[in-house]
Chains A and B, each alone.
Chain A
Amino acid sequence: RKEVEQDPGPFNVPEGATVAFNCTYSNSASQSFFWYRQDCRKEPKLLMSVYSSGNEDGRFTAQLNRASQYISLLIRDSKLSDSATYLCVVNMEGLGGGYNKLIFGAGTRLAVHP
Chain B
Amino acid sequence: EAGVAQSPRYKIIEKRQSVAFWCNPISGHATLYWYQQILGQGPKLLIQFQNNGVVDDSQLPKDRFSAERLKGVDSTLKIQPAKLEDSAVYLCASSLERLAGLYEQYFGPGTRLTVT
Residues of A near any B CB (own CB < 8 A): 4, 8, 31-32, 42-46, 49, 87, 91, 94-95, 98-107
Contacts and interface: CB of A to CB of B under 8 A. Distances in A.
A106 B58 CA distance: 20
Contacts of A103: 45
Contact of A42 (B40, B48, B102, B109): B109
B107 interface: yes
Interface size class of B (residues with CB under 8 A): 20 to 34
Contacts of B41: 106-107
A43 B42 CA distance: 11
Contacts of B42: 4, 87, 104-107
Nearest to A42: B109
The secondary structure that dominates the B interface is loop
A99 B107 contact: no
Interface of B: 40-45, 48, 50, 55-56, 58, 91, 98, 101-105, 107-110
A61 to B, nearest CB: 18
Given A94-B55, A95-B56, A102-B45, A44 B102 contact: no
A101 B102 contact: no
